[in-house]
Amino acid sequence: MFEIKTLALFVITAIAEIIGCYLPYLWLKEDKSAWLLVPAALSLALFAWLLSLHPSAAGRVYAAYGGVYIFVAILWLWGVEGVKPSGWDFLGASVALAGMAIIMFAPRG
């Protein structure tokens, strides 16, 4: 159960970070409204708070979170940006997820 909760929290955290970065991207690159910076800032604040909810050491959480972020970013590419990921994208994301699992769920002494 710990593993499922951890993974779910990482996914929600990744979505908050991606939204917080994607909205300024839209403003800068797609000439959208500067008002997008307000929800972007809120989303990044949510991202930081969500990372603080993990019981593990911060460095371990940040390292493992990166693997989930990669996977969620590939899904974002597909679902939001409409670009179908390649098999290589999915392979790389799977390797990143495997790294996350090793970092977060390996037995500790």
Domain count, the chain: 1
Other C-beta atoms lying within 10 Å of the C-beta of residue 78: 14
Which residues are within 8 A (CB) of 76 and not within 5 positions of it... i.e. 6 or more apart? 18, 22
With bands split at pLDDT 50, 70 and 90, how would you rate the model's confidence at 33? very high
The pLDDT value given to residue 91: 98
pLDDT at 58 over 90: no
Kindly give the residue spans of alpha helices, DSSP state H, lying in 30-57. 37-51
Q: Is the pLDDT of residue 109 over 80?
A: no
**Predicted structure pTM score:** 0.87
Q: How many whole angstroms from its chain centre is CA 25?
A: 16
For 99, the domain range is 2-105
Q: How far apart are CA 62 and CA 10, in angstroms?
A: 10
Average pLDDT estimate for 78-105? 96
> Percentage of the chain with pLDDT > 90?
75
